[in-house]
């Protein structure tokens, strides 16, 4: 094992796959000369040259469309958005072309493309730069949605995403790029659609994904001091979702808390809640509790932002609620 930052794991995954397959290229704003807005493509221009590591204008709709077209013609593009907030400018290409071309062409074209970049909040970036769109993309048939929470998963899942023959939305976080973690020395991949049991427990299941799962970790550590045992499931892939892993855990603990950094109406936590109550309702000993942001745009004020975003205290309160403590 070796220790890598999250950004280094991303760069390694892309570089290893580009060495393996010449049809893969990286395109986006500042990915080349600047080594990436978050240094997640550091050194790649020097190794692969400007034909495969391509700086673009500020034109998400344009370079998303170029990526989709080239994927239909045999390439495997990696399209980087400086943030998925900016992907809204190019979302027509993602939803109406990338996600639908296999069906609309009767299987004549597939679209092996990865759209990657940071999602959700990252400090005082205010309302238009602090949005989580996982549930938006997961709602669209034809897209796979991946949200890793650590360097090991980031590398293994990104390699699988690049090799996938369908479009994959790969969502990171500005606040995770500096995170360090152990990563295997050799070649490895992590299959899409398989959750990770991040922590085993017996009293309550906590399901989460992405950077917000760290709050679940903090809560579980605190609750352990009170002899409350939490099982934490990291979804890793939002779609396809590993529902069976959730069901298996809830059958053991009989209680479920879902933690997600997203607006509360119609999100990933909502779908998990529905799947559990409709498939294994009789195993529940308490109503499911889901924890989300406030139902407002993200505030700029640090005091308001702290109240807006879920934290470990919210998780502790939810766990005690389902345990009737």
Active-site annotation, residues: 60, 129
3-state secondary structure at position 122: coil
- Output 300-306 pairs: Cβ under 8 A, ≥24 positions apart: 300/124, 300/126, 300/127, 302/124, 305/121, 305/123, 305/124
- Output 242-245 pairs: Cβ under 8 A, ≥24 positions apart: 242/193, 242/194, 242/195, 243/272, 243/275, 243/279, 245/194, 245/195, 245/197
Tokens found for residue 49 = 């040259």
Contact 294, 194 (CB under 8 A): no
CA distance 310 to 292: 6
CA distance 148 to 211: 8
Contact 157, 14 (CB under 8 A): no
């Amino acid at each position: 094992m070796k220790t890598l930052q999250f950004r280094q794991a991303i760069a390694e995954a892309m570089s290893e796959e580009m060495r393996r397959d010449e049809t893969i290229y990286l395109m986006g704003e500042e990915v080349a000369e600047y080594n990436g807005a978050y240094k997640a493509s550091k050194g790649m221009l020097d190794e692969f040259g400007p034909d495969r590591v391509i700086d673009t204008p500020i034109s998400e709709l344009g370079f998303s469309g170029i990526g989709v077209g080239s994927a239909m013609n045999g390439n495997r593009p990696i399209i980087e958005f400086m943030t998925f907030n900016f992907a809204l400018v190019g979302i027509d290409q993602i939803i109406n072309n990338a996600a639908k071309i296999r069906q609309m062409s009767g299987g004549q074209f597939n679209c092996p493309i990865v759209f990657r970049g940071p999602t959700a909040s990252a400090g005082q970036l205010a309302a238009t730069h602090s949005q989580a769109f996982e549930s938006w993309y997961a709602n669209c048939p034809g897209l796979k949605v991946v949200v890793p929470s650590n360097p090991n998963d980031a590398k293994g899942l990104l390699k699988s995403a690049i090799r996938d023959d369908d479009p994959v939305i790969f969502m990171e976080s500005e606040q995770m790029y500096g995170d360090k973690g152990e990563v295997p020395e050799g070649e490895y991949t992590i299959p899409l659609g398989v959750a990770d049991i991040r922590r085993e427990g017996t009293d309550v299941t906590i399901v989460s994904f992405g950077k917000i799962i760290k709050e679940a970790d903090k809560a579980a550590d605190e609750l352990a001091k009170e002899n409350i045992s939490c099982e934490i499931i990291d979804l890793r892939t939002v779609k396809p979702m590993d529902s069976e892993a959730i069901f298996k855990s809830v059958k053991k603990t009989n209680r479920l808390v879902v933690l997600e950094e997203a607006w509360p109406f119609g999100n990933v936590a909502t779908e998990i809640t529905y799947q559990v109550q409709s498939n294994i309702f009789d195993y529940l000993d308490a109503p499911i509790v889901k924890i989300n942001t406030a139902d407002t745009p993200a505030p700029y004020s640090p005091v308001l932002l702290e109240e807006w975003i879920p934290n470990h205290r919210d998780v502790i309160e939810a766990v005690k609620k389902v345990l009737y403590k």
